[in-house]
Structure 1
Amino acid sequence: MDGAISSEFVGGADPLDVLRKIFGFNQFRGLQEDAVSAVMQGQDALVLMPTGGGKSLCYQVPALCRPGMGLVVSPLIALMDDQVAGLQQLGVRAAALHSELEPITRETLWGQLRSGQIDLLYISPERLLTPSLLDFLKRRTLSLIAIDEAHCVSAWGHEFRPEYRELATLRDYFPSVPRIALTATADTRTRDDILAALHMPQAHVFIASFHRSNLFLQAQPKIAETRQLVDALTRHAGQGAAIVYCGSRRRTERVAMMLREKNFTALAYHAGLSPTEKRATLLRFRSGEPLVIVATIAFGMGIDRPDVRTVIHLDMPASPEAYYQQIGRAGRDGETSHTVMLYGGEAIAKARYWLEQSQAPAMEKRTMQGRLESMIAITETTGCRTQAILSCFGEEFPSPCGHCDNCVHPPATFDGKEAAQKVLSTVYKTGERFGAVVLTSVLRGRVTETVERHALNHLSVFGIGRDRSENWWRMVIRQLIARGVILLTGEHGGLGLNRETVRPLLRGDVPVPLMEDASLKTQSALNRAGEHEELLLSEEEKDRFISLKEWRLMEAREQEIPPYVIFHDAVLRDIARYIPSTMDGLAEVKGVGRSKLERYGEAVLAVLKRLQ
């Protein structure tokens, strides 16, 4: 491992010294210092920080300061390899032990482990818990045990993995080794379950704000899905990567094909692909190529690319935790990124129906129902969307965020009492057996084949809403579904009335404030919101930034590593702005540590000199 850190940073070092010289940062951020201090003192910790908040430093720094080797439990090979590649660029003696290692690489790694030449070892829970490896590690000194993506431990988490529960036995094997569990999203119940499942009752709990100020949050009802998707992707075309989440494998394939026909570089990713196909897609994604990944939630943990500029959901996630974890894959470099969730009323009704039909235990069912209703509330809120999502994690955000669609363009509301009564009467008169499409046709007085076959055109409600558009009535129906007034009555999509809530509305006893669709008003304000950071560079700075990216790409290809492992865009952008002319000047740029200065300093200065 060329450029490995010297022995001064292997046990007994000062955390702040390591942070500065190895990682290139002058000070810790937020709760990092407190978490590092707890682990340095040999205490257990649970760290909750949003994606991009610097969780990794909370275990990487103390692992390099305490005597012995740090052990990092990680769920995915791609995630391990990215972390290891980044650490090796910093000169850290890091490695990953997993099933895809070539025999000669595995043999070399075992030699390094036996001779104490590894300071951070990444490993999956399944491999770690094999008796032979546990016996080997018991004879070594461990600085700490880090459990990354710790929400996988909890049965209440959105990506539960049973094998993670077995990590509780680590306390018995290594009673004096501090453990630190880390995750980006976990509500109160999940946090408590993590601590209980890992047998960490005395752990210090560090909870940072979940607020991501660089994420622009937007939710739209589905009006014209393809156009809405293309508009959202076009906003950041050519700027990094985009992820489009779909609810099924077949849908990912269909959407990816449609996007390719519209000249987007789009690839599908789901659990049904062969290992070779998955690796090829991940390789292209990690290469830094501007592309769109259309995926199921199988494309999840391990997404370490910093310049994902857009995350779009074509189907509503199952819980706020899952939603926030997925949109957290955007803007890991701290730069402005957009998230868009498209949702439909019938999908909401269907989710409620299938949950009601579930055979899950009553307590689990109530938890799932609470999370579903929280997601519905996030989509339909007229207030700050950031405040709505943060409240799901027990965090009260003091004021509207200013970087969501509702803050930038507050939705207009209107008195929907008469509209609601017309819809509910139509649902009742048509026998509570038709979906939104047929109901809308009846309201607008359109004679379709279904309407005529069932003689719906002879009902008293036929045409009572012909003064409004189809989209307008779909909007009203969707919001009544979100309120729980209209329910799915069967698996075939028929909509019926919720007798507990419908009577006061039909009598006009309660107000019915409804909001105009964001998608029915101008999108210009939303499209202007959060201009990409690159636009803030002057023309000369842009030229330097582009040249530095071209140099980085050539260097990455030569080393066969992702470009962002060398330097993030944010670091190159600062270099382009400040134009350091000496090695000392370059060392002042945040994110340029000692190892990277030695590796790349002269080459970076040469690029800048050529442009003078």
Structure 2
Amino acid sequence: MDTSQPNPENSNGPDTGTPTPLNVLRETFGYPSFRPHQAEIIDAVLAGRDVLAVMPTSAGKSICYQVPALVLGRLTVVVSPLISLMADQVGALRQLGVAAACLNSSLSPAEREGVLHDTASGHLRLLYVAPERLDDPSFLELARERGIALLAVDEAHCISQWGNDFRPSYQRIIDFIAALPKRPPVCALTATATRQAREDIEAALGLVDPFRVVASFDRPNLSFAVERPGGTKAKDRSLVEFARSRPDKSGIVYCMSRRAVETVCDLLSEQGLAATRYHAGLSPAERDRNQEDFLYDRKTIMVATNAFGMGIDKSNVNYVVHYNLPLSLENYYQEAGRAGRDGTKAECLLLYSPGDVHTAEFLLERTERDDLTPEQLEQLRAHDAERLRQMVFYATTTDCLRAFILRYFGEEAPAYCGNCSNCLADFEERDERTNALKIVSCVARVAIRCRETGAYSDAVGAGTIVDILRGSRAQKMLDRGWDALSTFGIMADVPVTHIRTLIDELVFRGVLARSAGKYPTISLTAASMPFLREDAPFMVKVAKGKPRKKRSEWAGGGASARDTAQAAETFEPSPDDEALFAELRELRSELAREQQVPPYFIFSNATLQALCRIRPATAEELLDVPGVGAKKAERYGETFLAKIAAHA
């Protein structure tokens, strides 16, 4: 973090007629105190300073520009990449009584004129716009006349060519800023950005001496798990079992392709689960309809490609499943982070299959970018290949999954978190040197035979190595003469999955190498021969089974994910608490249907749980519940207090 930090105590401000940030937070948003880093960022913005904030999902990035907008009392423009993201934020702000609007291609001419009129008249406090809107001369003229108190750039990683969702239109934001008669403070925010991406953001936006915050990437309320089903049918069974055991929970299932989305959605629907789908191949009308079904809890499961989610602020997503391997840990953590946005406990499951790696490499090879030179494109592909390699390491490691993620983003982490499948699994350490030697020897003998026969390549894929070691009698094996190798059939009694796990481990440790490309091959490295000669143990963690510890899904409504996790540890809900929670959730759904808004617009799950824990009996006590501000207390207080009293 920048060493010259603003003083967070200043967020209370002097006793003047101007609302203080803390008063705005309490009275408008209903939270008693700021989460980590929010107060410092807000003070920097109010002091007129540029900001670069990298904070994980659910850390409260939007508060960092929404509160200053209300304190300043003038127009704040928020650049946002997706229509759905704008609509979600604007809808939530209007529930709080905040004058907010968005300007994008989904509006009718009359709606667009209404927004422009409200902007020109000074009625709006927050205006969300797509980056392309900044290219419009008429909008620039409006901004010049009206004046902008603050420019917030959300999802700022989109500006970096090395980010996980690069958008060229973001790189023209700097031209818009330069054209304004008075440069406003610029606040750039993102959930995931490596050091290189952060440097790109600063340069591309022309940030001046920015106040920098790189918050902890840790999400204590999320549990991480990786399962390695053997084949598509086993993967399908794992997914169905997982979803079926959470019938009242809301979840997202991410797939790598449109075809996989269709197949998985049909599978879940056939099993009686309330699933819908989202991908770019659907008509806009169907995408909107399916998205609304999910947001309004009419469907509990959304099966989607990564086209879904960036613009979704749905706070009550209880789990995220990756049916296929993501292309990078940046993508994975951003998508998995859509679970538990309100701070309640949530689950993130990755179903790993080695075949997904081949598909991912094929997709990366097809990357085309008109805005890059051939040399830049080659650099990008090499960068993407390394990111995929790290993703595979995550999927195959037996170390703590949370520690792996945090270290990837440059953050120190303990070796044991107690809340991931590896830390909770029943592992035993086993010396697999004999089997590892057999595998490396097989790769070496394959290379020798290929050179002797003049084969096109001196390496083969992992599948062929497994078939040789297990002694497959398939015709293609006999035609190539693999049955003549001394390693043919020497691991016939070892399961395929175990051999593949050992191959992954050997690659991870650098004893073997896996090539990139559509058909990756396994080959020797400089470490292979020393490994064959040495006599040191090759210790590998092997799962004996995965008995999960019983963990309450309840979480308190604290001010941060870490606070929430701690509150959950000290508060165990009784059956009566759970019963009241169900009643309040049904009441929330009724109100949402009446108003035609998503249920989480009314109150988040964390707020409902806090209501059950605190059991307020008066309007004053209700305002002490995190997430209940003055406007929501006025709108819904009497109804919820009556329900709590009736339950008692």
> In the TM superposition, what is the alpha-carbon distance from 1:478 to its structure 2 partner?
3.1
Q: Which residue of 1 aligns with 2:584?
A: 548
Cα-to-partner distance string for 1:243-300 (whole Å, 9 max, x where unaligned) = 1222211111112222222222222321222111211111111102352222211113
Cα-to-partner distance string for 1:545-569 (whole Å, 9 max, x where unaligned) = 2222122112111211111011101
> In the TM superposition, what is the alpha-carbon distance from 1:104 to its structure 2 partner?
3.6
Matched, 1:374 2:374: no
371-380 or 327-336, which deviates more:
371-380
Alignment match of 1:524 (pick from 537, 544, 547)? 547
- Which amino acid letter does the alignment assign opposite residue 423 of structure 1? I
> In the TM superposition, what is the alpha-carbon distance from 1:458 to its structure 2 partner?
4.7
TM-score between the two structures when normalised by the length of structure 1: 0.91
> In the TM superposition, what is the alpha-carbon distance from 1:600 to its structure 2 partner?
0.9
- Unmatched 5+ stretches in structure 2: 1-15, 368-373, 451-457, 557-567
> In the TM superposition, what is the alpha-carbon distance from 1:119 to its structure 2 partner?
0.9
- Which amino acid letter does the alignment assign opposite residue 433 of structure 2? K
Cα-to-partner distance string for 1:106-132 (whole Å, 9 max, x where unaligned) = 333233222211111111111133111
In 1, the alpha carbon distance for the partners of 2:110 and 2:594 equals 21
- Which amino acid letter does the alignment assign opposite residue 409 of structure 2? F
Q: Which residue of 1 aligns with 2:54?
A: 48
Partners of 2:359 and 2:518 within 8 A in 1: no
Q: Which residue of 2 aligns with 1:210?
A: 217
Matched, 1:225 2:235: yes
Report matched runs for 1:431-450 at 5 Å. Answer: 431=450, 435-450=461-476
Partners of 1:50 and 1:211 within 8 A in 2: yes
Report matched runs for 1:358-397 at 5 Å. Answer: 361=376, 363-397=379-413
In 2, the alpha carbon distance for the partners of 1:503 and 1:427 equals 11
Matched, 1:405 2:428: no
The 3 A distance-change label for structure 1 pair 503 and 346 is farther
Once the two structures are aligned, what percentage of the paired residues are identical? Answer: 39
- Which amino acid letter does the alignment assign opposite residue 64 of structure 1? L
In 1, the alpha carbon distance for the partners of 2:208 and 2:460 equals 53
Q: Which residue of 1 aligns with 2:247?
A: 237
The 3 A distance-change label for structure 1 pair 599 and 195 is same
The 3 A distance-change label for structure 1 pair 13 and 176 is farther
Report matched runs for 1:434-583 at 5 Å. Answer: 435-454=461-480, 456-487=482-513, 493=519, 495-508=521-534, 511-516=537-542, 518=543, 521-525=544-548, 528-529=550-551, 531-533=553-555, 536-583=572-619
Partners of 1:266 and 1:293 within 8 A in 2: yes
> In the TM superposition, what is the alpha-carbon distance from 1:86 to its structure 2 partner?
0.7
Q: Which residue of 1 aligns with 2:620?
A: 584
Cα-to-partner distance string for 1:463-504 (whole Å, 9 max, x where unaligned) = 211232233223223333444544556967463423433322
Alignment match of 1:295 (pick from 300, 304, 324)? 304
> In the TM superposition, what is the alpha-carbon distance from 1:348 to its structure 2 partner?
4.1
RMSD: 2.7
53-62 or 482-491, which deviates more:
482-491
104-113 or 548-557, which deviates more:
104-113
Three-state SS of the structure 1 residue aligned to 2:288 is helix
Q: Which residue of 2 aligns with 1:155?
A: 161
Alignment match of 1:265 (pick from 269, 274, 289)? 274
200-209 or 351-360, which deviates more:
351-360
Partners of 1:350 and 1:491 within 8 A in 2: no
Alignment match of 2:329 (pick from 320, 324, 327)? 320
Q: Which residue of 1 aligns with 2:27?
A: 21
In 2, the alpha carbon distance for the partners of 1:462 and 1:210 equals 47
The 3 A distance-change label for structure 1 pair 364 and 451 is closer
Partners of 2:512 and 2:525 within 8 A in 1: no
In 2, the alpha carbon distance for the partners of 1:595 and 1:104 equals 29
The 3 A distance-change label for structure 1 pair 166 and 501 is same
The 3 A distance-change label for structure 1 pair 90 and 352 is closer
> In the TM superposition, what is the alpha-carbon distance from 1:349 to its structure 2 partner?
6.5
In 1, the alpha carbon distance for the partners of 2:365 and 2:101 equals 47
Q: Which residue of 1 aligns with 2:83?
A: 77
Cα-to-partner distance string for 1:170-211 (whole Å, 9 max, x where unaligned) = 331334311111111111111111000000041111121111
In 2, the alpha carbon distance for the partners of 1:490 and 1:128 equals 40
- Which amino acid letter does the alignment assign opposite residue 525 of structure 1? R
In 2, the alpha carbon distance for the partners of 1:333 and 1:339 equals 15
TM-score between the two structures when normalised by the length of structure 2: 0.86
Matched, 1:333 2:342: yes
Q: Which residue of 1 aligns with 2:125?
A: 119
In 1, the alpha carbon distance for the partners of 2:366 and 2:295 equals 41
Q: Which residue of 2 aligns with 1:7?
A: none
Three-state SS of the structure 1 residue aligned to 2:527 is helix
- Which amino acid letter does the alignment assign opposite residue 227 of structure 1? R
- Which amino acid letter does the alignment assign opposite residue 530 of structure 2? P
In 2, the alpha carbon distance for the partners of 1:366 and 1:495 equals 17
- Unmatched 5+ stretches in structure 1: 1-9
Matched, 1:170 2:176: yes
18-27 or 220-229, which deviates more:
220-229
Partners of 1:442 and 1:463 within 8 A in 2: yes
The 3 A distance-change label for structure 1 pair 381 and 82 is same
Q: Which residue of 2 aligns with 1:417?
A: 433
